[in-house]
Structure 1
Amino acid sequence: MQSAGVARAAIEAFRRNYEALCRDESGMISETDIEPATGLPEYPESVSELDSELLAQTVLIKLNGGLGTSMGLEKVKSLLEVRPGVTFLDLIVRQVSSLRESSGAPVRLLFMNSFATSEDTLGHLEEHAPDGLKGVTEVELMQNQVPKINAGSLQPVEWPENPALEWCPPGHGDLYPALIGSGWLDRLLADGVRYAFVSNSDNLGAVLSPELLAWFAESDAPFLMEVTRRTPADRKGGHLAVRKADGQLLLREVAQCPEEDLEAFQNIDTHRYFNTNSIWLRLDKLKEALESAGGVLPLPMIRNLKTVDPRDKSSTPVIQLETAMGAAIECFPGARAIEVPRSRFAPVKTSGDLFALRSDAYEIGADGRVQLIEERAGKPPVVKLDDRYKFVDSLASLGVPSLAKCNSLTVTGEVRFEDGAVVEGDAVFDGSEDPVVVEK
C-alpha cells in the first residue's frame, strides 16, 4: 500500500480491519444486544430565508466512485442521462449553482471519486459544466484503494493477468480516511467550513437542504443521519438501532446480522428506519474524534465475499474488507438521526429505477431538483423489469410510457411502449411468448 502511494490514514484503517479479519471477528450485531430506534425528530418546516452565512460554511460531498457495472456500464455511473443530454453530474452542478445564486454564498462541492471514475468525471465537468463550477478550482476528493484478500491464505491476492484487479475500494466508510489523508479536512476547516453534507451521486433526491442545515447547526450534534421509513422493498437495507449497553445509536447492515436474526432484521414494523446513506458532519468534531482515536474511526469491519475477477466466478475467491460511512454514527456521542420524506431517497440501483426516473412521474426543476410530481404524494412507481432489460442500453427498445398514475409496473419478455402510451394502476405486461406492443 505504501508503494502504491496509499495515504497513511487509509493504511491504518485497513490494518485495523485486516487484524480483525485475522482474529476471525464476525462483526455481527445480535438482536439481543439492540432495541429499535423510536421517537425520531421529523424533517423541519421550511425556513423563511436562506442563511447565507451557514451555507458559506458548508461543503456538499457527493460519493461518486461507482461504475454501475451491474447495469452494464463501463463509465462512471453518474454520467447516465436522466433526460436526453442531461446527466446526474449535470443536475448536481445545477443544484449547487442554483443554491449559490439564490443565497450569494460560495457553497463548496466535492466529488469523492475512485481511480476508475476520476478521469471521466473531471473530463465531463470540464467540458459540460464550466459555468456551473465558476470560481471553483478543485472538486475532487480521491477515494483510497486497498488489497483484495485471498480467501484461502488471507494474504493479498495475486492476479498477474490483470494486476489492477488485485485492488478494490474500501467502501464509503473510506470517506473519513480520505478526508484526513488527502489534507482536505484541514483545508476546509482553515477556510471556515464547519459542516458537510454527504450523499450518493445517484440519489438526486438528496439535495443540500437549507432547512436541514439550519436544524443540524442548531442541534450542535457532531453527526446526523437521514433515515426514512422502511417498506417491503427495504427489508435488506441497513437499519437504525439503539445499543442496549449504552443507548448509543448504531447502524446494522444485513452483512452484520446473524442468520438466526434475519427474520427480525427484515421486520419493518420492529425496525422502522433505514439509512438513506445521506449524512451531515461537523468537521471540527470529526477532526477531534479522529485525533482521539489515533487517526482511525473504529468502524465495524464488513466482509464482502467476491471473486478476484468479478466477471469470472471461477476466479480466485477473495475477501474485500469494507466499512460503511453511516456506521460512524456510533463513534460520536450525541449523534442524531432524523426522519426525512421518502422523496429524499431516490437512488438508481437498477435499470427499472432509471426507467421510472426518466418518466413523467418525476419532474426536474430549474434549480436541478428532481422530485415526484405533486399528484403522486411522495410515492414513486415501483418498476420491475425482465433480465433482458438489466442493462441500460436495452431500455431504448422499451420506449418511455407515461407513469404519472402508475403504482407498479412489471415487464416480462419482449414489450414495447409506443410514444404516448399511458400506464396506470398496477400493470403487468408479459411478452415472453408473443411480443407485446402497448399502444397509445
Structure 2
Amino acid sequence: MTAPGLIAAQAKMAAAGVDQTAIDVFSHYFAELEAGATGLIREDTIEPLLDPPFLEGVDIDDEAARAAFDKTAIIRLNGGLGTSMGMDRAKSLLTVRDGKSFLDLIVDQVKQARAATGARLPLVLMNSFRTQDDTLEALAPYIDLKVDGLPLDFLQNAEPKLLVDGLMPAEWPQDPTLEWCPPGHGDIYTALLGSGILEKLLDEGFRYASTGNSDNLGAVPSPTIAGWFAASGAPYAAELCRRTAADRKGGHLAIRRADGRLILRDTAQTAPEEMHYFTDEHHHPFFHTNNLWFDLEKLFAALKARGAVLGLPLIRNVKNVDPTDTASPEVFQIETAMGAAIEVFEGATSIVVGRDRFLPVKTTNDLLLLRSDAYTLESDGALRLAVGAAPLVDLDSKHYKTMSKFEARFPHGAPSLKDAVSLTVEGDWTFGAGVVCRGEVVLEDTGKPETIPDGTVLEG
C-alpha cells in the first residue's frame, strides 16, 4: 500500500509540472527513507583508496587528446545561490577578478580552449529555478557561445521537503517556495535525461562530459584528461587531489569490501563516532574534487535500463522548513551526490590531478584569496597560484561572512597576500588601499571598528 505522504508528494510534484522521470526517482528514495535508510557508510564496510593513477604520469598523444576533446561537452552545476554568503541570486554571478564573474571566467575558459584546439566544446549549465533567469541574462552578450542544436542550460529538478514527523510534504504558507528543495547534485543524471539534453548531446556527436561546480575555476577544460579518459575505456571517472590537514571536510573515494567497487563517502554519510576515520588525511589520503567525467553513451544506456533510477546512495538531510527559523518544523531533504554514480558503473576509475584543478569558493575567505595577488589570471582563463603555497585566510565570521559585510570592509579590493603565510582577522577591521600582508598576520579584536590606513604593511 502506497504511503499517504508519497501519494501527496507525487501529486504536488505533478501539479507543479515536475518531469515524471524525476517523480519516479523521488518515489524510489521516499521508499528508502520510509524503510529507515540513513545513508550511512560504515568504516568496516570499506577500504581506503591508496594507489589511484596520477595525471602527471599519463602520456597521451596530442592527436588522440584533440579527438577526444572534440567529442567532449562541458557541464557546470549552477543551481547554487550562495546563501551561506548572504546572496540571493546565482553564486556564479559574483565578481572574482578584473570585473569578471565566475560565469564570465568559465566562458573565457571554454572560448580559449575552443580557439586552442578547434574543438566545438559546448558549455551547458544545470540551473535551478532560482538561478536560471539571471544566468541566461548574464550569458546573453556572448552571442557566439551557443553550439548549434544545443541549449545553454537545463533545469535541476525540485522535490517537496518532507516533515520528519509523518513524512508528509511540508506546507509553509508564509513562503511556499520553501516547501521545495533540490534533490542534490546527483539529480544531474535524472535532469539530463528528463530534459532531453542527454539525447541531444549524443545526436550531435558528443561522447564525453566533463562536469564540475561553477564555483570551482580550477576545472579548466582539459584535452589531456579527455584523452586519458577516452583511452581508459572507463564509463566514468573522478578527479581526486591529495589531502592535507585543511581538507578534512571533503568527501573521499573508498573501495567497498562487498564487491570491490569504488564508492564516494561524504560527511553526511559518516557516523559521528567514525568521523576520526573520515577526517584523517593519512587514512583516506585523497579527496573527491567533484570534477567528473562520464561516457554519455554508457550513461544513457544505464538510465534507460534502470528506468532512470541509477540507485545512488541516499543522503538524508534534516533541516528546518525555513532555514532561518529554527522554530519551524523539521523536514527531511532527500539528496544524492553526483559523484556517487561511480559505484553504478563497472570499470569506473579515478585520477589524481594537481591542486590547481580545485579552487572552490565556499566562503569569503576563499574569495579574498582568489581576488588577491596570490593568484594570477592567465590567458586561458585559469586562476593559478602565483606563490609556492596558498596563504591561509581566516576572517571573523561576525563581520565578514556575508558579501555585503565583506565588500564594505575591503572597499579597495584585496590586500597583497603573495608574501603572506596566513591572515587571521578577529574583530571588525576595514582595509585601506594598497595594504600588504607578509608572513603570519593576526589582527586582534579591539572591541570596536578599526581601519587599516592606505599603504600599511602588516607583518606578524
Q: TM-score range by the shorter chain?
A: over 0.9
Give the C-alpha shift of residue 56 in structure 1: 2.2
Partner of 1:67: 81
Residue 55 of structure 1 aligns with which residue? Answer: 69
Alignment pair present for 1:381 and 2:365: no
Cα offset, 1:226, TM superposition? 0.6
Aligned partner of 2:28 in structure 1 is 16
Structure 1 range deviating more: 309-318 or 170-179: 309-318
Selected match of 2:185 from 162, 168, 172: 172
Kindly indicate whether residue 40 of structure 2 is the aligned counterpart of residue 28 of structure 1.
yes
Moved more, 416-425 or 11-20: 416-425
Moved more, 235-244 or 276-285: 235-244
Distance 1:16 1:408 in 2: 47
Which residue number in structure 2 is paired with residue 6 of structure 1?
Answer: 18
Q: Which residue in the other structure is 2:240 paired with? A: 227
Letter in 2 for 1:144: N
1:126 and 2:137 correspond: no
Tell me how large the CA RMSD over aligned residues is. 1.7
The whole-number CA distance in structure 2 between the counterparts of 1:336 and 1:199 is 17
1:47 is displaced (CA, Å) by 5.7
Measure, in 2, the Cα distance between the counterparts of 1:134 and 1:250.
34
Deviates more, 1:208-217 or 1:49-58: 49-58
Q: How does 1:31-430 map to 2 (within 5 A)?
A: 31-44=43-56, 49=62, 51-127=65-141, 129-133=142-146, 138-373=151-386, 375-376=387-388, 379-387=389-397, 388-396=399-407, 397-398=409-410, 399=412, 400-430=414-444
Secondary structure, aligned partner of 1:156: coil
Q: Is the 8 A contact 1:94 1:132 kept in 2?
A: no
Q: Give me the whole-angstrom Cα distance separating, in 2, the residues matched to 1:167 and 1:27.
A: 21
The answer to whether the 8 A contact 2:150-2:200 is kept is no
So what's the TM-score if we normalise by structure 2? 0.91
Structure 2 contact 66–223 (Cα < 8 Å) conserved: no
What is the CA deviation profile of residues 313-333 of structure 1, one whole-angstrom value per residue up to 9, with x for unaligned ones?
A: 211111100000000110011
311-320 vs 207-216, greater mean Cα deviation: 311-320
Distance 2:59 2:417 in 1: 29
* Secondary structure of the corresponding residue to residue 432 of structure 1: coil
CA deviations 1:190-219 (Å, max 9, x no partner) are 111100000000000011111100000000
Task: Note the alpha carbon deviations across 1:395-418, whole angstroms, 9 max, x for none.
Answer: 232342111122221111122333
Residues of 2 paired with 1:436 and 1:101: CA distance? 46
Return the offset for 1:427.
1.6
Q: What whole-Å deviation, never above 9, does each CA across 1:222-271 have from its counterpart, x for those lacking one?
A: 00001111222221221111011111110111111122211111111001
Contact 2:60 2:228 (C-alpha < 8 Å) held by counterparts: no
Q: Percent identity?
A: 47
**May I ask how many residue pairs the two structures share in their alignment?**
436
The offset of 1:187, in angstroms, is 1.1
Contact 1:415 1:430 in 2 (8 A): no
The one-letter code matched in structure 2 to 1:71 is M
Provide the rounded CA distance (Å) in 2 between the counterparts of 1:132 and 1:139: 8
Amino acid at match of 2:187: D
Higher alpha-carbon deviation: 252-261 or 88-97: 252-261
Any idea what the Cα deviations from partners look like across 1:360-409, whole Å, max 9, x if unmatched?
A: 01111122111111x32xx3222110021101122232342111122221
Deviates more, 1:161-170 or 1:49-58: 49-58
Distance 2:305 2:405 in 1: 51
